[in-house]
Structure 1
Amino acid sequence: MSITDPPHPHHTVTAIVVSHDGSRWLGETLEALLRQTRPADRIVGVDNGSRDGSAALLAGAFGPRAVLSLPRSTGFGEAVAEVLDRLGPDDGQEWIWLLHDDCAPDSHALQTLLRAADQDPKAAVLGPKLRDWLDRRLLLEVGVTVDRTGRRDTGLEAREYDQGQYDGVRDVLSVSTAGMLIRRDVWEEVGGLDPALPLFRDDLDLCWRVRSAGYRVLNVTRAVAWHAEAAARRRRRITVSGDHPRRLDRRNAMFVVMANLPFRPLLLALIRNMVGSLLRTALFLAAKQPAAALDEFLAFGSVFGHPARMLRARRARAAGREQSYGTVRRLLTPPGAGWRRLADRVRSYLAGTGFVESAGRHHAVAARQEDGEELLTDVGVTQRVFTNPGVLLFLALTLVTLAAERSLFGGARLGGGALVPVIGGASDLWDLYREEYHQTGLGSDAWAPPYVAVLAVLAGLLFGKTWLAVSLLLLGCVPLAGLSAYAATRSMIPGRWTRVWLAASYALLPVATGAVAAGRLGTAVVLVLLPLYAALATRVLTGERRRARRAAWCLGLLLAVGTAFVPLVHPLTAVLGALAALAFPRRGAAVSMVVAFTVPVVLLLPWLVQTAADPGRLLLEAGLHQPSLVETGLPARSLLLLSPGGPGMPPLWVTGGLVAACLAASLTRRNRLAVAVGWGVTLFGLLVAILVSRTQVTPVGGGVAAPAWPGVPLAFAATGMLVVAALTADRIAEFRAAGGPRRVAALGVVLVAFSTPLLAAGMWIAEGADGPLRGTVRDVVPALAAANSTGGERTLVLRGTEDGLLYTVLRGRTPIVGEADIPVPDGPRERVRLAAAGLVSGRGGDDARVLAAHGVRFVVLAAPVDPRISGALDSQPALARMSLSRAVGVWRLTQPVTVPAAPPGDPWHGRRLWGQAVLVIVVVALAAPGSRSDGREPVPQERPVPVRKPVTR
């Protein structure tokens, strides 16, 4: 090899350029190397079997005697070691400058690195700031760290530009071998790059061993290099390993961490890697990346399946490992950042649905402590919480909710209104949903409502707590609806603060406060899902075909959830979807719409057929249907001002500002088509609300017929109004900027529009959740009756109201959520109704014999106790009073009671349940957003880089 004499005796720099099929970048790299203001003393090129002319470029720059040719399977570390073995040591302090063929250093890079080395005698490894090859302002690395599972962390946000924010000499865990400057004596001391890591993470392993030996690793940001990351970005074929690059990277990451951690941290890291690999495998499968999931699984197996290799590596790295860990620990990814990374990964997963922005990388910065050491601290979460309008809106709505619902927290049992007292756990809900024959009440072989399964899944995720699941959906529906509306309108409504107003106004609608006050769990769930329906339907109609079809499956899945709670959701959305498909004809959109509205029908069979057989049940929702919760003869002005009536309603003038703002928005001439669609949805919702509020419906278990509650149709109408107003917000901004009367008019519209969420929040806080919902409710079955009930004996609960006598048959305990929605056969129900009426009217013992034949042992008179009814029951010779107070009365039948036996079960019931489970899994898989197969950020399209002939010397 031809080597020039060193011009600087204090430092001798040997530059080594390793190439492998990198001719498209190599010319610029060589030119940058030969133009250094502080030239390298010795320069050697190594070509690992290139087939694109890279070897000729190296020979043209350095001369053929200064170029070493090696096989294509040679790794980067092996190539550098081969060069150093042939060169032999140099007198004085020698530095090795490593360069990839796709890394072009700035002309002052080497001089800057050496100057930094002179200022710190303990510095053994120094690296430049790396920027992107194509977008020269884009930061790639200012040092690298990892967490204890080996996840690489640059401390940069996605596509973060260099504005000098990281300038300075930074103490880091590792720097890249692209531009790495390392003392040769330290290289020899630690053994150089590990040949077992031919690609990926070899630099991390080397720098970790350097730190274990007592030296420092620095990133010098005044030294700059531009890196194409050709191997990591799959811009060229990798031939040093037969494994997929993703698998190789993950395997090496775990290997380096496991080999370099001390024993105690290693034990925790073993558990973290086992659990983390399982979670990542599941996430890859959910994101439709089976190849990535397989790579993750095989990478884990290749590390932990060869314990002997791991033990040898740990023995080789044992020197100084324990002593240096205190410093290394401060440079690892900070504790807790792994959770933020998981949140970012989930957020990135959800970004595939279009509801949230893409997640960035973990943001970590170096903060200097009192002892002069630098500690990586995570500031990304705090910054995002206090700067993201959506998060601020969610927090504000949560505070409003806590203040308004203050009377509902801390109680023993939530219930009242349409909500039965919440008892039991997730296992009880699953038992109810799987039963072939329900012994509750008078007994029924009908299908349990599918919302029971939805609650069971959510309760299972919340440690089996049904009360927590119900509280989250019902009491938390206002902040959840606000967050849903803000996220779902990201691609539809311009301006984040316009979306904040829309989301706040939507979340604080009278429908929401009324749902909470009356315990309407179904309306609360639909209120959260409705903005997602709108966003997904928009994507189905306007998106690219593959994304539109995936959105259709997702829409169908969420429609199935909403329909399970409120059956009216499906026909409402189906009509709107059909009209939208006709208004926006697009190839494939009709098929996607058919998919979206077929999925709920398929998933909810045969319950949906059972419900459709009684059309009145389509107007009911999850929970009890009580006449006292519905306002009879609801005036038209109430519906026009989006107030569905019933408990928890604010004054009508609270929503007047919203309606006025929507009418003012209609006067503008922009977005006419969108405004027309919005008003179409509004009018459709109002029309359905009028029909629902004037239709008499009989409860599932029998009772007094009463109008249905029009809350869900009014939520549809309000959504249309809000979209109309939000789409014209840019016009209001132009009026404000114009000055004069237009400015005054614009300010007036803004004040009127903002009056709705502010007044609604204020009124809700002042009045509280005023309604029949309570934080503590009594058991429906008194303890005296429950304690004496044996063998499945039933209890008849009577309640006198202004509308007549209400009755319920219970089986020895308070019903769990969903049991009240199971229909009872008409024959037994009618016979028991007549018998209950006969007891109250004072008829003879035939009525008692009917009750006894249906297993009724106890008769309970619920509060408020009517003296006339209690007197009639006392007069019955077939009844013996057990207890009577102002709160409750209990009587026992004196004659023998026959508990009806359960009929034979349906042998197909279990198979249908398994089929339903399989269908749900299939739909979830089809609805799940996919992502890029390599899991990396998108790379700009490569532009041809002209290769200039390098300067020779």
Structure 2
Amino acid sequence: MSRPYVTAIVVAHDGARWLGETLRALASQSRRPDRAVGVDNGSRDGSAGLLAETLGRGNVISLPRSTGFGESVAEVLAKLPPGGRDEWIWLLHDDCAPDRRALEALISAAQQDPKAAVLGPKLRDWLDRRRLLEIGVTVGRTGRRDTGLEPREFDQGQHDGTREVLSVSTAGMLIRRDVWEQVGGLDPFFPLFRDDLDLCWRVRNAGHKVLNVTFAVAWHAEAAARRRRRIAVSGDHPRRLDRRNALFVIMANLPFGAMLWALLRNVLGSAFRTLLFVLSKQPANALDEAVAMGSILAHPFRLLGARRARKHGRKKGYIRVRRLMTPRGAAYRRLTDMVQSFLAGEAPVDSAGRHHHTSPEDPAGYEAVPVDTGAVKRFISRPGVVLMLALTVVALIAERSLLGGERLGGGALVPVTGGAADLWAFYTEGSHDIGFGSNAWAPPYVAVLAALSTLAFGKTWLAVSVLLLGSVPLAGAAAYLATRHVIPAVPARAWAAGTYALLPVATGAIAAGRLGTAVVFVLVPVYASLGTTLLSAERRRARRAAWTLGLLLAVGTAFVPLVYPMFAVLGVLAAVAFGGVRPGVVTSTAIALLAPVALLFPWLAGLVADPGRILLEAGLHDPALADPGLAPESLLALSPGGPGLPPFWVTAGLLAAALAALLMRRQRMIVAIGWGVALYGVLAAILVSRITVEGARAWPGVPLAFAGIGLLVLVGLTAHRLSELRAGRGLRRLGATLVAGVAFSTPLLAAGHWMFTGVRGPLTGDAPDVLPALAAARTTQGERTLVIKGAEFTVLHGRMPLIGEPELPVASEARTRVSTATQGLVGGRGGDAVTLARLGIGMVAVAPPVTRELARTLDSQPSLERMSLSDAGGLWRLAEPVTRVPARPVRVLHKPWLWVQGALVLMMAVLAAPGRRPQESVEASGAVLVGA
């Protein structure tokens, strides 16, 4: 066999502390290389002098500090003529000292296997010479580097032998020069880290073998990976650079189908690892993980170019590479280990299997060291957090039919369309081009939804979904936090919060799409907590609570006007009862009651002119949503009637526990106040449920929410008496156990029944378009479309209505004329189309189902031309020319009042903020606004 020609290349960069031993090891090889060349990448510690002294100045090349390892080797090979047909390149880092017989063992293994093109030695630790670092490297589809070794595993010959591997390190790598040139060498995109993996992958795709020869040994300091020297080749952090390169190698070398699956897994896995890093108080590591994944997603063309350069042999080579990669399922096991290590108090590991913390004993940061995750574990294990998570799971299971739809709507909820900009425009414009035009004040809750939609990245559907579908867990969290100073016992507080969140008011509001009730249901416990704070002896605290209560009361009143008079009655009673005992109570109560009036004044003035509208709430007012014959026993069970309500026995346990509290002799004042609030809410619910407004019965959900909070606080405050009675004997213990069991049955039965039946009501996740697509496409500027559905009708302007628009008052004269004309069309009387045209209506749409008789009647009208007719509805165009209705005048005081309103909100938020320093006030006011 011919003697192979070996060219050794040593690359140095600020590695003088290791380079001397590396050069001595090179010079003492039993099989000496035929030529040796050194490269110095702008070292500032004397590395260039060591190279010149050992190899000779003519054999040393100087390059800039920013030159990568692959570029350095390519620069050397470009200047060196080939050494023959059988030339090998031996790559050495400045911190890698090979054993005396390392090169001899590598050459011997290469001669025994003609297909071997890349060979690497067994790497041991530079300091602990017995510790194994690498015997070849593989990788999983998540980019995680796997050496197959145990942590701190010593070399006892247990892995000896020559084996085929996926990759070997460039520290001591021996590669055939012709293969190097065939695959293009090291990719300059990888200045550091994972360049060896990418090279070996391409070599294997070309049909060659990669071997690890354990009889060749080298000691490696891993100075760059362990951050023992400054890296000048890249501006990225080493950990971030390593993770980015790992992901890039996987995406560039996998076949297309496997790459798509790996991309999805890595996106989800990176998000999960980022979350764990955040929870374990490692923001730098979380940033590295997020930026690394974002770098891949933000440069798709760079990835496409790399895949195009690697397309030759990739699919066939993957069959050979796949068996050497980390086995399937290992990533899931490691993910489990990662979570377990996090919960056990250890730092999560990175993609190379290394923990991210350093210590004086381990400056490289390789070993797992305890981290302060006790606060995180305590937070997760808190009863309030557990309750919130449990209610979220219950809500997701119960609302399964509403998730994943295209549009949430139905019942009282207008199908959600548009974004935050649309809502802001609707709220701030002085004249609304909807229906027949209106210059009335937009409902103030539109501003709240617009603000929340802005925080939700402009997604109105997201804000509405969180408020409505998430009202159960939000109400539970609000009740738990609001009662922390009222109910001292944590188990009783958790029970009260869970029971309140699952009251029939919540499930009924969700089923009927009552967004207003859902928002107020979350705020009622906060009202109760702030109301008790108003009675505090500390005047400063009571005054802050008054401003906060005023802001939140304005929010609740904007959604459900009935909130204000109900709370006003209780506030006035409290001010009268405690005015002489607690100085400042009257002033604080006045602030809380006058703040909503100041914020909602223009809109409230319209309610005063039409008092019946106080009983209505945000959304549509469908008579079918309320139960006209609501029985008194249903109201006693806190069931407001309508769709989506549980049977009586679900909440009977709460009523039984509250009745049992009447038998307790102690804490009679608490029992009296609790039952007083409950009876007040029930009587208000009875009164409200008997009143009809705009053809629909008012829904008593909000009064029953007041009643429910009264009963729950009553039972929660007397729960410790049950514990005392259970500690006794005889009938007392039996009765206390029975009452406790009955009480705990309420949230369990409510949750079980809701999950089993799901949301039963008109609310749907796939609300249909009110306006046909053809009508929206053919509508000209200023033209309106009359939409007929049964006996009802509406007039639209080329788009779906926004939330709040159907609630604007319509001129009675125009509505009467359209109603008469519509009845004439449906009834087959001629001449009515002229009236519609004069009102700006150019098309008539009929919502499904369209009966044959109605279609025949409309077709018979000479003034109508059919455009479409299907199961999705029908559409007819008027033959009469459309007369555009002139726009209504804009209100003069609209814009100035909006500025005044914004200034009032900011002032109240600052006054509600705790602390004396301005910075603290601003921060707290921001929190209040976000909460509102």
TM-score, L = length of structure 2: 0.60
Alpha-carbon separation, structure 2, partners of 1:338 and 1:661: 51
Is the 2:346–2:369 contact (alpha carbons within 8 Å) kept by the matching residues of 1? no
Q: Which digits, 9 at most, give the CA deviation of each residue in 1:646-691, with x for residues without a partner?
A: 1111111111111111111121122222221211111111111112
- Whether 1:553 and 2:543 are equivalent positions in the alignment is no
Is the 1:337–1:378 contact (alpha carbons within 8 Å) kept by the matching residues of 2? no
> Where does 1:589-604 land on structure 2 (aligned, <5 Å)?
589-604=585-600
- Whether 1:538 and 2:529 are equivalent positions in the alignment is no
Structure with bigger RCO (C-alpha 8 Å, 6+ apart) = 1
SS at match of 2:414: coil
SS at match of 2:875: strand
Quick check: 644-653 or 546-555, which moved more? 644-653
Say how many residue pairs are matched: 583
Structure 1's 758 and 442: CA in aligned 2 closer, same or farther, altered over 3 A?
same
Code of the residue aligned with 1:602 in structure 2: it is A
**RMSD across aligned positions (CA):** 2.9
Q: Which digits, 9 at most, give the CA deviation of each residue in 1:685-738, with x for residues without a partner?
A: 11111121111111xxxxxx0211111111111111111111110110101111
- Whether 1:672 and 2:668 are equivalent positions in the alignment is yes
Alpha-carbon separation, structure 2, partners of 1:832 and 1:625: 20
Q: Which digits, 9 at most, give the CA deviation of each residue in 1:806-831, with x for residues without a partner?
A: 11111111111111122212222222
- Whether 1:726 and 2:716 are equivalent positions in the alignment is yes
Residue matched to 1:856: 841
> Where does 1:443-842 land on structure 2 (aligned, <5 Å)?
443-585=437-579, 586-698=582-694, 705-800=695-790, 805-842=791-828
SS at match of 2:769: coil
Residue matched to 1:894: 879
Code of the residue aligned with 1:557 in structure 2: it is L
Q: Which digits, 9 at most, give the CA deviation of each residue in 1:222-263, with x for residues without a partner?
A: xxxxxxxxxxxxxxxxxxxxxxxxxxxxxxxxxxxxxxx989
Is the 1:385–1:392 contact (alpha carbons within 8 Å) kept by the matching residues of 2? no
Alpha-carbon separation, structure 2, partners of 1:437 and 1:559: 28
Is the 1:861–1:870 contact (alpha carbons within 8 Å) kept by the matching residues of 2? no
Deviation at 1:743, TM superposition (A): 1.0
Residue matched to 1:925: 910
Structure 1's 716 and 377: CA in aligned 2 closer, same or farther, altered over 3 A?
same
Is the 2:437–2:888 contact (alpha carbons within 8 Å) kept by the matching residues of 1? no
Code of the residue aligned with 1:728 in structure 2: it is T
Alpha-carbon separation, structure 1, partners of 2:685 and 2:898: 35
Residue matched to 1:943: none
Q: Which digits, 9 at most, give the CA deviation of each residue in 1:821-859, with x for residues without a partner?
A: 2221222222222222222233321x3222112111111
SS at match of 1:406: coil
Alpha-carbon separation, structure 1, partners of 2:718 and 2:233: 57
Alpha-carbon separation, structure 2, partners of 1:528 and 1:566: 12
Is the 1:685–1:714 contact (alpha carbons within 8 Å) kept by the matching residues of 2? yes
SS at match of 1:798: strand
Code of the residue aligned with 2:283 in structure 1: it is G
Structure 1's 832 and 590: CA in aligned 2 closer, same or farther, altered over 3 A?
same
Alpha-carbon separation, structure 1, partners of 2:811 and 2:537: 47
Q: Which digits, 9 at most, give the CA deviation of each residue in 1:25-83, with x for residues without a partner?
A: xxxxxxxxxxxxxxxxxxxxxxxxxxxxxxxxxxxxxxxxxxxxxxxxxxxxxxxxxxx
Is the 2:557–2:564 contact (alpha carbons within 8 Å) kept by the matching residues of 1? yes
SS at match of 1:407: coil
Alpha-carbon separation, structure 2, partners of 1:593 and 1:339: 47
The structure that has the greater radius of gyration is 2
Structure 1's 334 and 798: CA in aligned 2 closer, same or farther, altered over 3 A?
closer
SS at match of 2:663: coil
Deviation at 1:868, TM superposition (A): 4.4
Alpha-carbon separation, structure 2, partners of 1:265 and 1:824: 70
Structure 1's 266 and 552: CA in aligned 2 closer, same or farther, altered over 3 A?
farther
Is the 1:367–1:376 contact (alpha carbons within 8 Å) kept by the matching residues of 2? no
Structure 1's 678 and 854: CA in aligned 2 closer, same or farther, altered over 3 A?
same
SS at match of 2:727: helix
Structure 1's 487 and 262: CA in aligned 2 closer, same or farther, altered over 3 A?
farther
Is the 2:436–2:795 contact (alpha carbons within 8 Å) kept by the matching residues of 1? yes
Structure 1's 388 and 268: CA in aligned 2 closer, same or farther, altered over 3 A?
farther
Alpha-carbon separation, structure 2, partners of 1:786 and 1:437: 22
Structure 1's 587 and 897: CA in aligned 2 closer, same or farther, altered over 3 A?
same
Is the 1:518–1:771 contact (alpha carbons within 8 Å) kept by the matching residues of 2? yes
SS at match of 2:672: helix
Structure 1's 665 and 787: CA in aligned 2 closer, same or farther, altered over 3 A?
same
Code of the residue aligned with 1:590 in structure 2: it is V
Q: Which digits, 9 at most, give the CA deviation of each residue in 1:82-109, with x for residues without a partner?
A: xxxxxxxxxxxxxxxxxxxxxxxxxxxx
- Structure 2 regions of 5+ residues with no counterpart? 1-228, 238-276, 288-344, 348-356, 921-932
Structure 1's 376 and 463: CA in aligned 2 closer, same or farther, altered over 3 A?
farther
Q: Which digits, 9 at most, give the CA deviation of each residue in 1:620-657, with x for residues without a partner?
A: 11111101111111111111111111111111111111
Alpha-carbon separation, structure 2, partners of 1:871 and 1:583: 70
Code of the residue aligned with 1:900 in structure 2: it is V
Code of the residue aligned with 1:639 in structure 2: it is L
SS at match of 1:741: helix
Code of the residue aligned with 2:845 in structure 1: it is V
Structure 1's 521 and 933: CA in aligned 2 closer, same or farther, altered over 3 A?
closer
1:881 alignment partner, one of 841, 866, 873: 866
Alpha-carbon separation, structure 1, partners of 2:286 and 2:700: 42
SS at match of 1:865: coil
> Where does 1:150-161 land on structure 2 (aligned, <5 Å)?
none
Alpha-carbon separation, structure 1, partners of 2:233 and 2:759: 50
Structure 1's 737 and 265: CA in aligned 2 closer, same or farther, altered over 3 A?
farther
Structure 1's 265 and 640: CA in aligned 2 closer, same or farther, altered over 3 A?
farther
Structure 1's 334 and 886: CA in aligned 2 closer, same or farther, altered over 3 A?
closer
Structure 1's 850 and 756: CA in aligned 2 closer, same or farther, altered over 3 A?
same
Deviation at 1:862, TM superposition (A): 1.3
Deviation at 1:430, TM superposition (A): 0.3
Is the 2:388–2:473 contact (alpha carbons within 8 Å) kept by the matching residues of 1? yes
Alpha-carbon separation, structure 2, partners of 1:816 and 1:459: 13
> Where does 1:73-472 land on structure 2 (aligned, <5 Å)?
334-336=281-283, 375=369, 377-472=371-466
1:906 alignment partner, one of 882, 886, 891: 891
Structure 1's 741 and 542: CA in aligned 2 closer, same or farther, altered over 3 A?
same
Alpha-carbon separation, structure 2, partners of 1:542 and 1:739: 40
Code of the residue aligned with 1:690 in structure 2: it is I
Code of the residue aligned with 2:714 in structure 1: it is V
SS at match of 2:620: coil
Code of the residue aligned with 1:482 in structure 2: it is G
Deviation at 1:523, TM superposition (A): 0.6
Code of the residue aligned with 2:583 in structure 1: it is R
Deviation at 1:587, TM superposition (A): 1.2
Code of the residue aligned with 2:830 in structure 1: it is G
Is the 2:439–2:889 contact (alpha carbons within 8 Å) kept by the matching residues of 1? no
